[in-house]
Structure 1
Amino acid sequence: MTGYAAALWSLIYGLLGLFWLLGGKGFPFGKNDPQAEMMGSFLSNLNIDFGGPVIAIAGLVGTVVALAMVMTWGRRFPRTLLLSIAWIMSGTLIFVVPDSRIAQNFAYLFLLHFDLLDWRVVNQVYCIVGGFIWGASAIAYFRLTRDACGNCGRNDVDEGSSAKAAAKWGKWFTYLAVIMAFPYGIVRWAWALGIPLGTNDLSMVGNEDNLIAEAILGGLCIGGGFLTLGLIQKWGVIFPRWCLFLAGKQIPIWFVMVPAILMSAIITITGLKLSPQIIFMIMNGSIKHENWGQFVPFLFWLPWGIFLGIAILSYYLKRRGRCKHCGRL
């Protein structure tokens, strides 16, 4: 199923590339995106003469590769080739195409602020969805070609990762993810309380118009950090007492993993796009003691996203238990 979804996604985006190449409006990169460089886009210099053909060809190749992974004629192609293309598609769509506007618009949803949502952001969301579809397709194909269970990925010769081992190393990555979540949140809460931590721009500190926004933005990070602890706590497996009629029931693994994976991707994307700019600003002296609070906390986002992703993997390995489809443990 995921292979067909990847094929459909690729066909649609490939046709969009052809449309833009033939003069259609809406090419979302390069000079058509004036905010690209400021938001850390890796594609701020991509023009339609190059980008249009690349997207069209990538869409065509992706369609063929996705179908090859699920149809019998695809056995003629080397397994490594198909898997490599699938993972390249997934990584490019999730980590190369989007920029920090994904996190920006996600945060602003809690402020009921939708003015920054435009076609360029919608295109990035579509690409992220495509990246996850391609990632799922790669995993499904990998399992199929190694005679593994399509549900859990284990086979008769696979020893797998024990739940006890995952609990040990996962605990430390969870703690690291929690720590990385705090710097940005602490700075934002300081501004909301009127404390000029890392800034001399008084318009950003204690401003009644910004107070709620800063408090919410800081709260999302700090609250997310504390929620991350659920990956290693009992209340991350069993609904706590205050959940009323759900109290005492086991939390479905997807209920935790879906939002956690999404947040890990958003945080990693933002950190990946902003960190190079911030490091360059530090090296050329643009960031000083009077403005570091506006930039430096974002340097923690890339390791935050990576550590969170590893912690999620540990959570999955601990909770997957015996497979209901193949019976393997």
Structure 2
Amino acid sequence: MVITARRTSPVLPVLAGAWSIVTAALGGWWWWRPDRVPFGRDPQAVSGPLDWLPAGSVGPGLVAAGAFGLLLAVLARTGRRPAPTAASGAVFALVFGVVLPGMQPVMFAGYLVAMLGPVVVFLTVLAGAWRWRGGPAVVAAFVLIAVLAWTTGFADAAVFRRYGEVLVGAAAKLEQPAYLTFLLACGVLFAVIGARAWLAARGGRPAPAWTRPEAAARWGRAATVVAMLCALPYGLVRMTWLTPWPVGPDAATLAATPEIRLHGLLLGLAALGGAVLTAGLVARWGEVWPRWIPVLRGRPVPVAAAVVPGALVATLFACASLPFGAQVVATDEAWMLLLFPFPLWALSLGGAVLAYALRRRRPQAPSTTWDNG
């Protein structure tokens, strides 16, 4: 097996150029008006490196990044000098995809999954229940849990109203997460461009032994197990909030703030659901849609359907690793790394996703051109 590259559409370089132009314009605005920089305003809420930088340095830095990114996009579009393009893409991926975004994107994504995940799962199971032998039982279990939560006051109308007020208050603070997610998009975008350029630079050379499907299946299984285990501590700790002996806040506090208890449980369920989805990277249902998925049941799962969200989540964990590690050191609470092992989680999940992609990739005919988009 040899490493090859193929030519497709120029969409990635175009997107990279658009990102660069917007970034340079945003940097110019903040250079002119450093008082409008949304980072570092609250010394007690440091969530990433941008909160540590002087406001006056953010604008010039983004202008320079936008100019260099535009040059890199042009190189990617022309397909020339793939080696420097690959190196530059790796730098952009490291700076904008790992170092700068900080913790807010992963927190935002976690809250979003916690709010929408149960609804999406229930509607999906409900839509596919009639073609799945265990479907009616699962739907009945969902309904029973909802009825019990409502009748016991655990999650009734009053709790949901208070929970909605919390969400509305959080929505008013989305300016900074939006900018950080924009920077993260740059890291992902230029990482793909750099990877394709690296493939072009290695065109015609034999692929390393560890990238062969049979090898990827072996080490990918180990990476998947580690990633699943990383998701369990937080999810299981949150599930103790269902008992009279919760870990963290005491039972009286949770009883007085049921909206916080509901939110914590939803976050815990999101973590446990993530562990289940991670298992799909080595399970049969990760390659063929299961019977309870409407319309798609029995069809092959597109590789991108698992690789794209898995890679994004691994990137979010990598972003959170640096600021979270600094927070752990500052507060001398090393036990938090057991609940949120972001560095190990990012590496293991990224490895599991890469192994899945290597295992399921299709052989391609050699090409003399490299894929620029």
TM-score, normalisation: structure 1: 0.82
Give the equivalent residue in structure 2 for 1:34. Answer: 42
Shift of residue 135, structure 1, vs aligned partner: 0.9
Distance 2:110 2:270 in 1: 8
Shift in Å, 1:170: 0.6
Shift of residue 39, structure 1, vs aligned partner: 4.5
Residue of structure 2 equivalent to 1:316: 357
* Per-residue deviation, residues 101-142 of structure 1 (Å, max 9, x unmatched): 212222222337353342211101111111111111112222
After superposition, the Cα gap between the structure-2 partners of 1:297 and 1:156, relative to the gap in structure 1 and judged at 3 Å, is closer
1:99 counterpart residue number: 102
One-letter amino acid matched to 1:21: W
Counterpart residue number, 1:120: 176
Please list the CA deviations of residues 281-303 of structure 1 after superposition, one character each: whole Å capped at 9, or x if unmatched: 22xxxx49xxx6xx444441221
Is the contact between residue 107 and residue 217 of structure 1 (CA under 8 Å) also seen in structure 2?
A: yes
Q: Please provide the CA RMSD for this pair.
A: 2.6
Q: Tell me which residue corresponds to 1:59.
A: 66
Q: Distance in 2 between matches of 1:20 and 1:244?
A: 48
**1:324 deviation in Å?**
7.1
Superposed CA deviations along residues 51-105 of structure 1, whole A, max 9, x for unmatched, are 2212111211221122123337x54xxx544332221111111112212221222
Q: Which residue of 2 aligns with 1:223?
A: 273
State whether residues 181 and 301 of structure 1, in contact with CA within 8 Å, keep that contact through their aligned partners in structure 2: no
Q: Is 1:138 matched with 2:194?
A: yes
Q: Work out which of the residue numbers 167, 171, 181 in structure 1 matches 2:231.
A: 181
Please show how residues 240-319 of structure 1 align to structure 2 within 5 Å: 240-282=290-332, 287=333, 295-319=336-360
Distance in 1, matches of 2:286 and 2:100, equals: 33
SS at match of 1:235: helix
Cα distance in 2, alignment partners of residues 53 and 297 from structure 1: 38
Number of the residue aligned with 2:132: none
Give the Cα–Cα distance (whole angstroms) in 1 for the partners of residues 302 and 247 of structure 2: 41
Q: Measure how far apart 1:208 and its partner are.
A: 2.5
Between the two structures, name the one with larger relative contact order (CA 8 Å, sep ≥ 6): 2
Structure 1, unmatched stretches of 5+, are 149-154
Q: Which moved more, 1:117-126 or 1:163-172?
A: 117-126
Q: Is the 8 A contact 2:213 2:358 kept in 1?
A: yes
Out of 182, 190, 196, which is 2:240 matched to?
Answer: 190
Matches within 5 A, 1:206-217: 207-217=257-267
Corresponding pairs, count: 303
Superimposed CA distance per residue, residues 162-189 of structure 1 (whole angstroms, 9 cap, x where no aligned partner) = 2111111110110000001011111111
d(CA) in 2 for partners of 1:205, 1:93: 41
Give me the whole-angstrom Cα distance separating, in 2, the residues matched to 1:114 and 1:107: 16
Equivalence for 1:237: 287
Alignment of 1:11-50 (within 5 A): 11-23=21-33, 26-30=36-40, 33-34=41-42, 38-50=45-57
Offset at 1:220?
Answer: 0.6
For the 8 Å contact 1:14–1:59, the answer to whether it is kept is yes
How far off is 1:268 after superposition? Answer: 2.5
Evaluate the alpha carbon distance shift between residue 120 and residue 163 of structure 1 in structure 2; reply closer, same or farther with a 3 A threshold.
Answer: same
Q: Which moved more, 1:19-28 or 1:312-321?
A: 19-28
Question: Identity over aligned residues, as a percent?
Answer: 23
What is the correspondence of 1:193-204 to structure 2 with a 5 Å cutoff? 193-199=243-249, 202-204=252-254
Q: CA deviation at 1:323?
A: 2.9
Cα pair 2:31 2:56 within 8 Å, conserved: yes
Alpha-carbon spacing, 1:315–1:209, altered in 2? closer, same or farther (3 Å): same
Q: Secondary structure at the match of 2:107?
A: helix
What is the CA deviation profile of residues 235-255 of structure 1, one whole-angstrom value per residue up to 9, with x for unaligned ones?
Answer: 111112222443221111111
1:3 is aligned to 2:6 = no
Displacement of 1:20 in angstroms is: 1.3
Aligned to 2:49, the other structure's residue is in SS state coil
The range that moved more, 269-278 or 132-141, is 269-278
CA distance in 1, matches of 2:226, 2:252: 32
Asked if 1:71 corresponds to 2:78, the answer is yes
Amino acid at match of 2:196: A
